Amino acid sequence: MNKKKKAELILKTLNKIYPTTPVPLKHRSKFTLLVSVLLSAQCTDLNVNNVTKSIYPKYNKPEHFVKLGRRRIEKLIKSIGIFRIKAKSIYLMSKQLIDNHSGKVPKTFEELEKLPGVGHKTASVVMSQGFGYPAFAVDTHIHRLAQRWGLTNGKNVVQTEKDLKRIFPKKTWSKLHLQIIYYGREYCQARNCYGLTCKICTNCYPNRKNPIETIKA
């Protein structure tokens, strides 16, 4: 099966299972979305949501976090992994938004990626889920599934993103990013499917016998 056929099969399967794709990170604005995505690195969405539900009602603007300062931000997010690094990024990012963007979240990749703690993946999520711009935020989980499904042989998320954008129509990118994440969590888990049991893996590779070893991003 060539990549075009695989893409059609994958889209059909995912659209049937996940006709709607709610944003998993709870947020109140583009700024709180940006903060939540930054917090989600090496952390589950559930943990982020549990922490931010007591933060955002009171602190939800760059000015709030600058006034809090790094130490107080650390205390608010201390149950999240690498919280000290993230607190520093949130503080410096908030300060830069005030100094350079009038407290508003910029709506270009270039400007977003200049913010402290914001890489391409974080910028892609904000552009997609915050501004509705077609973007394909590839994390380690999407990278793993794309390899299992024979859509890329890229050794990193940068190459995988390029490959997926070539294969799938631009209009599907934002929704598809979330669909793949949901599917990976539910059906094609790292230590469960191994490329052998889920519906997409078996349909794409009905004769596959051995577990697939994926290249970590």
- Catalytic site positions: 121, 139
Closest CA to 42 of 75, 68, 77: 77
List CB contacts of 108: < 8 A, sequence separation 6 or more. none
Query: What are the helix (H) ranges across 77-195?
Result: 83-101, 109-112, 120-125, 140-148, 157-167, 173-186
For 135, the token pair is 């973007």
By residue count, the chain amounts to: 217
| Cα–Cα distance, 199 to 10 (Å, whole number) | 9
- Cβ–Cβ under 8 Å, residues 21 and 62: no
Region of residue 208 (left: phi > 0; alpha: psi -120 to 50; beta: else): beta
Tell me the C-alpha distance between 71 and 124, whole Å: 29
DSSP 171: G
Please name the residue that has the structure tokens 């995988």.
Answer: 160
